[in-house]
Every structure is written in C-alpha cells, then in structure tokens.
C-alpha cells in the first residue's frame, strides 16, 4: 500500500498528477488488492490513452472510516492480469475498461461487453476491438426442468430499457443476469469534449432523476481544479437542493413500492406528495427537475427570505402528511408481510462487491459520502446516517423513509439559518496536469466524478461512476432463491438508474 495515502487526495481536493504513484502492473495489482482487503473500497477505476499505444489505468480507492482517498496508476498495453479474481469489486470496472480502451484483462471470469459500444477511449494507434459488441452470450443453467425467462428491453410500464435473463425452475429464480447499455450516449466523451458551459448540461442529463447530484459532483470537480471557493450561502443552497431531490425521489419510490404490492392508500398518498416535493424543487430552481441551478462557482438562483420562509412552511406541512402516509404503510400487517424477507443482500456481499447508498445502509453497512467524506455544507451540518440490518426489501423501504425524515429536518434547519452573501464566485481556468475526485451522496448513493486535466488545463478524462454502476450487481445477487413474481418489487426497492449506468 505504498504511497496510497501519500498523495493527500481527499473528496474535492485536487492533486498534481505527479503526486499519484505510477507503478508496474504487478505492484498496481498488489496495491489495489491489499488495500481492498484492508477495508478500502474501489470507488472508481478507469483507463485513458497514455500515448499512441498504451493505456494509463487509474484506480481510486476510498477509506470510508478515515475519510481519505487514494489513487494509483499503471501503464498497460494490449493486456494485463485482471484484478477481478482477487478483488470482485473490480468486476464491472474491468469489463468497462476492456470495452472503452480495448485492453484485455486476462483471467476476468465473465468478460463480456458491459454496454455494447465500440471503444471510445482507446489509444489512437490501436484499431482493434477487444469485446465485440454483438457477441454477448448469457449465463445458462442446464437441466431438463430449467427454463429461461427473458424480460425487456421493452417493458410493460414506461420505464427505461434493460434486459433481464432469468434462469428459473418453476417460480424459483436460480440465476439472474442483467444486460444494460441501451441508453449509452457517450456521456464521458461528451463531458471531455464539450465546452465547460455545455458540459454542466451534460452532467445534469446523466440521469434525469439525479440532476442536482451529478451537476453538484461535476461542478465540485471543476471548482477544485480551478481552486474556486464557493460562498457559504451557495453551499447551503446546494445542500438544500440535494436533499430536496433525495426527498422527492425517495417519496416517489415509497409510493411505487406500495403500488407494486397493490397497497393503494399509500401508493396514492406518496404519489401525490412526490409532486409537492418536485414543486419545492421548482421554487428553488425554476423547474421540477432541478436543472439550471448548479453551476461552477455556486448556484445561479438565490433564495429570498420570503421564499425560504414559504419553503419551510411547505416542508412542515409535507412532513405531517408524509408521517400519516408512512404510518398507514408501515402499520399495515399485509404490507409488512409482503416486504419482509424478499430480496436479501447480505452485509458480506455489500463489503465484497462495494455496493453503496441505501442498498448498503439497509444491510447495516454504514456508507454515506455526506458522513464519510464530508464536503460543502455537510462539513458543518450533519445529517444522521440511517441504517437497517435485514438487507431485504423492507429494510430498503424503511431506510428510504427515515432518510426522508432526516432530509426534511436538515432542509428546514438550513432554510432557517441561511448564511448571507453572494451565491456565485467566478470559477476560472482549470489547473493543468491535476487529478480530482469529487464524490457526492446522491439519493441512490455515491456519485463519483474523477477529472484529470492535461497540460493546457483541458479536461483529459472525465470519469463518471453512478451509484447504479455498483448496485446493479446487488439486484442480480438478491434474486436467486426468490420467486420470479417478486422480481418487480425487488427491482423497485433498488430503483436503479439505467441511464446512470449506461452513460
């Protein structure tokens, strides 16, 4: 683990590229594998062209207990020994690297395309494709009575496209493989090539329900690279916006979970209240999705005292109505019986595969960027972390509900004590040859934006890791042993983003 701590990397603190260790492939492997065994977590791993032939691999690791980050790099050519057999957290990252950079991780147990696109981050002189997008065989369970059920990419409801392949024995699910990539838009490439003014719009569109989350992380990276300090008022407004986004989405999920178990009273109440949450976001940003609020240097719109007072009153009212709806839902024996014991994700799996957000917290793995790697307003105002222990659908539902309560508490408190001052400071040019990791606790969990600048301060690489990137594997692991008829409910309790994964 030599040098992992030495770079001084923290959430939103840029370091010169020179401070990040460059190791041989074997050392790199050892560093990452040993760090993960020591309790570090692989937050991001990606490749970018090093020269015409070679690829620079970077691994970003997080030590949640100490609030520290670490990074290490290595240079590889056509192939390198995969980390996945010794470090399962690298599973999806290495498939992504193979697909994006045309580098083969030898010994990867399930090397197939992740999003089915051609390499867009390979070294210029390399013309080969390591993973053929058209070739993606599914895992099969053999047996006379085993049957396959294929669902999607077109679904019965108005949701995003994804393909689910079940190996089932009657109603029992033996295995689930999830194939995504239908929403791939080349987000990382766009973020790297677009002018900075437009790049923020791209960041806002990574996942339509995590606008504040991704824009905040992207701007956090730019601000750190430009050494731009936001005013306390801007930080407070960003924090309030982030929590409003969390409240709106969690409330929507609570309603959707109630709808999936056909519990109409809660489904109707939460569905209606989600609208009110979105309306509050509109008061703040001018639209219900939160677009156009967060820009490098602060926030575009200020809150007047009247608006802050009005928002507080609306949040108080919302809290009362939500308490009523939640007591109907959690007080109903039939709902509880339906949610408990379904789709269990064990704490061991969370630790092994590095799941994040409410999924991890529902399995009693305390993991929350606001708490572990505090930034902005969260350095001064703490939102208590919510955990549950069962790891099932009920636990994930409960965690969402308690997070809603605590976020409302936080927003009311902040609205009552908004610091004075401007909301915008100028954000100048980015420093050249630096690396920054900006993490943010979106409502689905950890969002990581890693930005590496080149010699002229241009963005050389902008890596995005949505919480869904980690957590789709959790859904696939939660299903075996459950009934196939429980899948929609289980899926809803994770409510992962297709767009956020597909980029």
Partner 1 sequence: MTGHTDWRALVAVAMVLLIAPAIPGIATKTKSVLTGRRGAPVLQGYRDLAKLVRKGRVYSDVSTWVFRAGPVVVVASLVLALLMLPLDGRSAPLHFAGDVVAFAGALALGRFALVLSGLDTGSSFEGMGASREVTIASFAEPVLFLCFAALVLATGHLSLNGAVGPAIGAAWPRDTASLVLVALALFVLLLAENARVPVDDPATHLELTMVHEVIVLDHSGPDLALVLYGSALKLTLFAALLVCVVVPRAALRAWTAPVAVAAGVAVVAVLVGVVESAMARLRLTRVPQLIVGAGALALFGIILLLR
260 lies in the binding site for partner 1 (CB under 8 A): yes
Cα within 13 Å of Cα(169), Cβ side: 12
Residue with smaller CB distance to partner 1, 167 or 363 = 167
Q: Is 143 in the site for partner 1 (CB under 8 A)?
A: no
Rg of the chain taking only CA atoms, in angstroms: 22
For residues 35 and 27, give the distance between their C-alpha atoms in angstroms, rounded to a whole number. Answer: 12
Interface pick for partner 1 out of 234, 342, 395, 399 (rule CB under 8 A): 342
Among 222, 410, 487, 498, contact with partner 1 (rule: CB under 8 A): 487
Candidates 65, 125, 262, 313: give the one binding partner 1 (CB under 8 A): 262
- Which is nearer to partner 1, 65 or 337 (by Cβ)? 337
For 143, phi and psi rounded to 5 degrees?
155, 150
Considering only residues 272, 313, 348, 429, which one is a binding residue for partner 1 as defined by CB under 8 A?
A: 272
**Any contact of residue 62 with partner 1 (CB under 8 A)?**
no
The count of residues in the chain is: 503
Answer for the pair 445, 359: CB distance below 8 angstroms, yes or no. Answer: yes
- 2 is an interface residue for partner 1 by CB under 8 A: no
Residue 259 Cα distances to 22, 253, 329, 497, angstroms: 52, 9, 11, 19
Q: Is residue 256 part of the contact set for partner 1 (CB under 8 A)?
A: no
Residue 154 is a binding residue for partner 1 (CB under 8 A): no
Among 65, 149, 313, 324, binds partner 1 (CB under 8 A): 149
Task: Give yes or no for residue 496 binding partner 1 (CB under 8 A).
Answer: no
Decide: 66 and 58 in contact? Cβ < 8 Å.
no
Quick one: which of 32, 211, 484, 499 contacts partner 1 (CB under 8 A)?
484
Residue of 440, 447, 308, 295 whose CA lies nearest to 375: 440
Nearer to partner 1, 268 or 282 (CB): 268
Closest CA to 442 of 278, 206, 258: 206
65 lies in the site for partner 1, by CB under 8 A: no
DSSP 8-state code for residue 332: -
Using DSSP bridges, classify how beta strands 79-81 and 104-106 pair: parallel, antiparallel or unpaired: parallel
Q: Is 489 in the site for partner 1 (CB under 8 A)?
A: yes
Site track 72-101 with partner 1 (rule: CB under 8 A), x = hit: ------------------------------
Q: Please give the size of the binding site for partner 1, defined by CB under 8 A.
A: 34
Taking CB under 8 A as the binding criterion, the range among 88-96, 257-265, 402-410, 418-426 that sits at the site for partner 1 is 257-265
Q: Is 483 in the site for partner 1 (CB under 8 A)?
A: yes
Per CB under 8 A, 335 contacts partner 1: yes
Q: Is 460 in the site for partner 1 (CB under 8 A)?
A: no
Strand partners, 294: 299
Query: Shortest gap between Cβ of 408 and partner 1 (angstroms)?
Result: 22
Coil, helix or strand for 434?
strand
* Neighbouring C-beta atoms of residue 306, cutoff 10 Å: 8
Q: Compute the CA torsion angle 30, 35, 36, 39 (nearest 10 deg).
A: 160
Q: Is 151 in the site for partner 1 (CB under 8 A)?
A: yes
Candidates 210-218, 279-287, 448-456, 481-489 — which segment interacts with partner 1 by CB under 8 A? 481-489
The reply to whether 291 sits near partner 1 by the rule CB under 8 A is no
Selected range binding partner 1 among 22-30, 56-64, 242-250, 483-491, rule: CB under 8 A: 483-491
Query: 502 and 180 in contact (C-beta within 8 Å)?
Result: yes
| Residue 494 binds partner 1, judged by CB under 8 A | no
Q: 308 with 298: CB under 8 angstroms?
A: no
Taking CB under 8 A as the criterion, which residues in 428-447 touch partner 1?
none
Neighbouring-strand partners of residue 74: 23, 57
Q: Find, among 362, 333, 331, 334, the residue nearest to 349 by Cα.
A: 362
Stretch that binds partner 1, among 75-83, 231-239, 264-272, 409-417 (CB under 8 A): 264-272
Which CB sits closer to partner 1, 170 or 416? 170
From 42-50, 300-308, 350-358, 484-492, span contacting partner 1 (CB under 8 A):
484-492
Considering beta carbons, is residue 38 or 172 the nearer one to partner 1?
172
Residue 121 backbone zone (phi > 0: left; psi -120 to 50: alpha; other: beta): alpha
Query: Coil, strand or helix: which one is 356?
Result: coil
- CB 324 to partner 1: min, Å: 12
CB of residue 494 to partner 1, shortest distance in Å? 15
The encoded tokens of residue 320 equal: 């009362």
| Sign of CA pseudo-dihedral 61, 25, 45, 434 | positive
| Chosen residue from 2, 37, 287, 334 binding partner 1 by CB under 8 A | 334
CA 456 to chain centre: 30
- Residues contacting 5, CB < 8 A, separation 6+: 68, 70
- Residue 88's alpha-carbon distances to 41, 157, 196, in angstroms, are 11, 33, 35
| Contact set with partner 1 (CB under 8 A) | 147-151, 155-157, 170-171, 258, 260-265, 267-269, 272, 332, 334-335, 337-338, 342, 483-489
């Amino acid at each position: 683990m030599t040098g992992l701590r030495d770079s001084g990397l923290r959430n939103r603190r840029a370091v010169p590229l020179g401070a990040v260790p460059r190791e041989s492939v074997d050392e790199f492997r050892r560093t990452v594998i040993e760090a993960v065994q020591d309790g570090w977590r692989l937050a991001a791993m990606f490749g970018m062209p090093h020269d015409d032939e070679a690829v620079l691999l970077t691994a970003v690791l997080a030590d949640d207990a100490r609030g520290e980050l670490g990074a290490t790099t290595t240079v590889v050519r056509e192939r390198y020994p995969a980390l996945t057999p010794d470090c399962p957290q690298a599973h999806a990252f290495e498939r992504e690297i193979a697909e994006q950079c045309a580098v083969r991780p030898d010994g990867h147990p399930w090397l197939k395309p992740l999003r089915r696109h051609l390499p867009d981050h390979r070294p210029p002189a390399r013309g080969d494709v390591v993973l053929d997008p058209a070739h993606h065989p599914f895992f099969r369970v053999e047996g006379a009575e085993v049957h396959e059920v294929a669902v999607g990419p077109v679904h019965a409801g108005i949701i995003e496209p994804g393909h689910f392949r079940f190996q089932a024995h009657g109603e029992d699910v033996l295995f689930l493989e999830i194939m995504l990539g239908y929403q791939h838009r080349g987000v990382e490439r766009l973020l790297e090539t677009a002018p900075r003014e437009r790049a923020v719009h791209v960041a806002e569109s990574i996942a339509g329900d995590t606008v504040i989350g991704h824009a905040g992380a992207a701007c956090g990276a730019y601000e750190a690279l430009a050494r731009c300090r936001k005013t306390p008022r801007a930080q407070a407004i960003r924090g309030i916006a982030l929590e409003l986004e969390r409240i709106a989405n969690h409330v929507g999920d609570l309603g959707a979970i109630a709808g999936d178990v056909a519990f109409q009273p809660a489904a109707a109440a939460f569905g209606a209240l989600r609208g009110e949450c979105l309306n509050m976001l509109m008061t703040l940003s001018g639209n219900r999705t939160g677009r156009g609020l967060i820009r490098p240097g602060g926030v575009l719109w200020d809150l007047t005292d009247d608006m802050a007072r009005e928002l507080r009153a609306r949040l108080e009212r919302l809290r009362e109505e939500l308490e009523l709806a939640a007591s109907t839902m959690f007080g109903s024996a039939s709902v509880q019986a339906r949610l408990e014991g379904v789709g269990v994700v064990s704490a061991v799996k969370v630790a092994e595969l590095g799941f994040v957000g409410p999924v991890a917290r529902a399995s009693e793995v305390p993991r929350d960027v606001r708490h572990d790697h505090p930034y902005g307003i969260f350095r001064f105002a703490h939102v208590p972390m919510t955990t549950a222990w069962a790891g099932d659908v009920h636990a994930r539902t409960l965690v969402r509900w308690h997070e809603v309560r605590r976020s409302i508490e936080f927003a009311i408190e902040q609205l009552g004590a908004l610091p004075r001052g401007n909301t915008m400071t100028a954000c100048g040019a980015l420093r050249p040859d630096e690396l920054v990791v900006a993490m943010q606790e979106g409502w689905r969990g950890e969002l990581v934006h890693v930005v590496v600048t080149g010699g002229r301060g241009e963005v050389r690489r902008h890596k995005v890791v949505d919480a869904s990137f980690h957590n789709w594997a959790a859904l696939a692991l939660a299903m075996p042993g459950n009934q196939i008829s429980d899948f929609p409910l289980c899926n809803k309790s994770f409510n992962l983003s297709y767009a956020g994964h597909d980029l």
